[in-house]
Amino acid sequence: MQRATPDVFVGIDIAYNNYTEIKSLIDEVNAYTNLLIIGCTAITYNQTLLNEICEYLHEKNMSFIIYRDWLRRNSTEWFSFWVENAKTRWGDKFLGFYYSDELGGKQLDRHEHLTVNQAVDAHDAAEQFTETVSSQLRRFKLTYNSSTSIPLLTSDYALYWFDYKAGYDTVLAEFGWNYSRQLNVALCRGAANLQNKEWGVMITWTYTKPPYIEGGKELYEDMVFAYDNGAKYIVIFDANEEYTAGILREEHLQAIKQFWQYVREKPKKAL
């Protein structure tokens, strides 16, 4: 299939460590996707594995984003040098970093990893959330100390406005569970547009056990809905509960392939 010049990034977030399986998936999907998120820290904190996968993606003419987080000790000995050379080595195929995730959603759900533990009122909570996340993003940037501005991306299911205010360039609204697609798109897109940022969608789990993700028909419909509403990024999360293997089946690959054809044939609607 001849690669079209897309007006959207369509891809998969691979969050497991199986180099052979990952290469096999890249071989399968590179004809009908243009983005891969390297979402497994066992790879992104391993210089050799990271270089091998980035180089392989570059050979396949695919763009990529690299996951990091602040829950692990940053590999500063090689990381700063690596970042400084990434743009030269892989050019515009290296789109930036996916740095931690679901900070807003975890805050509302009172998750064990809270950004704000206690606040006087809603204004105080908003100020604390924004400043704490902003401070952590600044610290991350100091670990690579690059002269090049590198975009930062995350996914979330709430508080998109404050993710952007804290310094994220792109937020992916999560489609999963029984969340309202319409509400999350409206909130994320509105926050992005008002702050002159990019936005997209991360299609994640619907179930807590296999098959985890929705069926192929529903996946296709979610991708079309996101695209028709102006999403710049449309990504499918691919990992089981143990982060040991992918969860995408043939029906999902066929849905992505069908969507790629939809993208090729129909330009984005004016919103």
CATH at 92: 3.20.20.80
Whether 107 is covered by a domain: the verdict is yes
Whether 138 is covered by a domain: the verdict is yes
pLDDT at residue 81, as a whole number: 87
* Tokens describing residue 153: 């991306």
- In angstroms, the Cα distances linking 224 to 6, 9, 28, 228, 255 are 14, 13, 21, 6, 10
Per-residue pLDDT for 170 more than 60?
Answer: yes
Whether 270 is covered by a domain: the verdict is no
Per-residue pLDDT for 1 more than 80?
Answer: no
Whether 246 is covered by a domain: the verdict is yes
pLDDT at residue 3, as a whole number: 47
* Of 236, 242, 183, the residue nearest 213 (C-alpha): 236
Confidence of residue 202 (pLDDT cuts 50, 70, 90): very high
pLDDT at residue 250, as a whole number: 98
Per-residue pLDDT for 233 more than 60?
Answer: yes
Whether 1 is covered by a domain: the verdict is no
pLDDT at residue 76, as a whole number: 66
As a whole number, the mean pLDDT across the chain is 92
29-43 mean pLDDT = 96
Tell me how far apart the alpha carbons of residues 25 and 246 are, in angstroms, rounded to a whole number: 9
Whether 99 is covered by a domain: the verdict is yes
Whether 2 is covered by a domain: the verdict is no
Q: For 76-135, how does the pLDDT look when each residue is reduced to its tens digit (9 = 90+)?
A: 678 888 998 898 899 999 999 999 999 999 999 987 778 999 999 999 999 999 999 999
59-71 mean pLDDT = 90
Which residues span the domain enclosing 107? 9-265
Whether 4 is covered by a domain: the verdict is no
Confidence of residue 5 (pLDDT cuts 50, 70, 90): low
Per-residue pLDDT for 271 more than 70?
Answer: no
Tell me how far apart the alpha carbons of residues 82 and 61 are, in angstroms, rounded to a whole number: 20
Number of domains in the chain: 1
User: Does residue 196 contact residue 189 with C-beta atoms inside 8 Å?
Assistant: no
